[in-house]
Amino acid sequence: MAKLTRRQFTALLGTAAYAAQRRPNIVFILADDMGVGDLGCYGQKILKTPNIDRLAAEGMRFTSAYAGAMVCAPSRGTLMTGYHLGHATIRNNWEVYPEGQFPLAARDITVASMLQKAGYRTGICGKWGMGGPGSGSTPVDKGFDFFYGYNCQRQAHRFYVDYLWRNGTKEPIAQSPSRRVYAQDLIADASLQFIRDNRDRPFFLFCAWTVPHGPYTVNNVPSIAKYKEMEWTDGEKVYATMMDRLDADVGRVMSLLKELRLDDNTLVLFSSDNGPGGGPANNARFGSQMGLREIKGTLREGGIRVPLIARWPGKVPAGKTTDIATAFWDFLPTAADLAGTSAPKGIDGISIMPAMLGKKQNAHPYLYWEQLTPAKLTKALRMGEWKAYQAAVGAPVELYNLAADPAESKDVAAAHPDVVKKAEKIFATARVEAVPPPVDPRVRQKYLEDNKKLDELLGFS
């Protein structure tokens, strides 16, 4: 899709008043390891998500939205940079010792850097996972004016921790068995404070929250008392508790935007960084996968299909749905349109602002993903109604018609050799080579040692 000029975008919005208005704020709320089927607005019957459902009722719900990847770090990398996984710097959860993950490259211009240069105040509250301290790829290195939360996604597996990062400094958290401080509460509070502090200027807030990521143990939530009478496993009670906290914090953000009279000039987006991480038990209890094949960690639909909700009163039509296929790398050019600036050249994303405004949207010719490990390269793509999948280099290409078979249950490659041939050509040309870093055995050992230390500090051992 051709880049919209500021004049074209103003005309697209259909109101002359927009040109004189302050540029819209952008709030992107990202859940962690939440399934598309976990929300009431996508069909969930057991878990209650009234605040997120209200976003959908007051905005637009995307039914063919995809994460950037099958796991956390590469998915967030595509969201920040506008590149799909064939061109992205980070293509898997590549861990770094002693803290952090494989960094973004110097060439990677993030959406935060772009918006910062356009005059936005930029903040991230939650999980980063794209470059450890000293890597040159921390949030403050990559365009964020403010950062509060976890630099390292391994640390983010714990909700009771002894420090979080504030900008470039470790900020200790006093923990004890009698006073346990829950990190998500601190991160949500910081999100609200960022909005208050920047109410008088355009801002971009990335709420990269870590609920409902596991482990799903009773020591990872303050209480499961609300569900004590349910005939569920403790893990299921923990997951439901985390979903409650996620929904409540979304409600807090929306209430504050209304209180400050910012909600009419704020685009709020809600999504999840990949498919559900709760496994078969959660799917059996709650239907987290929504009938899709497999879960987080794979390139099947259940691993990469996610919810996407957009709310902007008076601009995004309320109560609408769209089936336009979009993925995380579309966020950066969409944000560029909102800010009236230009996206970096050569990225893979396109602006989906027309779709959000209920206008005609040009479609991607394809969406591409890969999962790169030292041992194997798995590829997947979506072209219109088709999903192609190749488990490894040299393996046969599987083909599924998502319109008829969203669960990817019937491989129809033999009946459509022309589509398979097209997919093979894309698989061969949609990527540049990348070399995964070697696995450092010290990472796992340090993770276990840190967990043991925290358990003792908190009285969990």
Q: What is the pLDDT of residues 249-268, one digit of tens each?
A: 999 999 999 999 999 999 99
pTM of the predicted structure, to 2 decimals: 0.95
Q: How far apart are CA 398 and CA 22, in angstroms?
A: 49
Q: Categorize the per-residue pLDDT at 287 as very low, low, confident or very high, splitting at 50, 70 and 90.
A: very high
Among 295, 266, 290, residue whose Cα is nearest residue 41: 290
Cβ count within 10 A of residue 250: 25
Q: What is the DSSP letter of 452?
A: H
Average pLDDT over the chain reads 95
List the domains of the chain with CATH numbers: 6-365 (3.40.720.10), 375-429 (3.30.1120.10)
Q: Predicted confidence band at 340 (pLDDT cuts at 50, 70, 90)?
A: very high
DSSP3 helix / strand / coil % (the chain, rounded to 5): 35, 20, 45
Residue type, 14: G
pLDDT digits (tens, 9 = 90+) for 289-301: 999 999 999 999 9
User: Which residues touch 15 (CB under 8 Å, ≥6 apart)?
Assistant: none
Q: State the pLDDT at residue 1.
A: 41
Cα–Cα distance measured from residue 218 to residue 337, given in angstroms and rounded to the nearest whole number: 44
